[in-house]
């Protein structure tokens, strides 16, 4: 179940949110939730699939790294999806300690075929128009943005 908040934020056409437990099955719940929002916003099937992959990466990172040391049982991950103008945005929020993206990106070689991880942010950046990371002391927030292609 998700909550809907239509028109209460300046410039937004709509905003919907979903809270999921920090458990592996939550990645598929998050992808299904975002798929429904992206289809409703008018994205083509290929675009919807790319958005789903990016969200799956963000939620997986939140599950693996974003809830360590949290006291809630199980820790929760928040997804907020909104439409502002012709841009759909998705925020994935956790209660983790965050990290230095610039230092992490420099340390990870995405061309290393033997690497076990470290590609999630690169995948998100490749699939979305914009990826913003923010840590505010209470948790990490990843905001993914994708413009809706015009129908012309």
Spell out the SS3 assignment of the chain: CCEECCCCCCCEEEEEEEEEECCCCHHHHHHHHHHHHHHHHCCCHHHHHHHHHHHHHHHHHHHHHCCCCCCCCCCEEEEEEEEECCEEEEEEECCCCCCCHHHHHHHCCCCCCCCCCCCHHHHHHHHCCEEEEEECCCCEEEEEEEECCCCC
Q: What is the mean pLDDT of residues 86-90?
A: 96
* Per-residue pLDDT at 1: 47
* Per-residue pLDDT at 106: 52
Residue 143: pLDDT band with limits 50, 70, 90: very high
Tell me what the pLDDT averaged over the chain comes to: 83
Residue 104: pLDDT band with limits 50, 70, 90: low
59 CB-side CA count, 13 A: 29
Report how far Cα 149 is from the mean position of its chain's Cα atoms: 20
- pTM above 0.85? no
Residue 26: pLDDT band with limits 50, 70, 90: very high
| Domain covering 16-147, topology | Heat Shock Protein 90 (3.30.565)
Residue 16: pLDDT band with limits 50, 70, 90: very high
* Per-residue pLDDT at 93: 93
Q: Kindly list the domain boundaries of the chain, sorted by start residue.
A: 16-147
Residue 135: pLDDT band with limits 50, 70, 90: confident
Burial group, residue 17, by CB count within 10 angstroms (0-12, 13-18, 19+): middle
Residue 98: pLDDT band with limits 50, 70, 90: low
The percentage of residues in the chain with a pLDDT greater than 90, rounded to a whole number, is 53
pLDDT tens across 43-53, in order? 999 999 999 99
């Amino acid at each position: 179940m998700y909550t809907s908040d239509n028109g209460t934020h300046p410039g937004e056409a709509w905003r919907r949110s979903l809270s999921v437990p920090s458990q592996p099955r939550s990645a598929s719940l998050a992808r299904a939730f975002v798929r429904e929002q992206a289809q409703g916003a008018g994205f083509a099937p290929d675009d919807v699939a790319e958005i789903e992959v990016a969200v799956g990466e963000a939620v997986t990172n939140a599950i693996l790294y974003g809830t360590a040391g949290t006291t809630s049982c199980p820790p929760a991950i928040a997804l907020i999806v909104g439409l502002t103008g012709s841009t759909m945005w998705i925020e994935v929020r956790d209660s983790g300690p965050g990290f230095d993206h610039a230092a992490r990106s420099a340390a990870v070689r995405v061309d290393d075929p033997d690497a076990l991880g470290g590609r999630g942010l690169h995948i998100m950046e490749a699939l979305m128009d914009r990826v913003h990371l923010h840590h505010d002391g209470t948790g990490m927030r990843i905001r993914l943005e994708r413009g809706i292609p015009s129908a012309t």
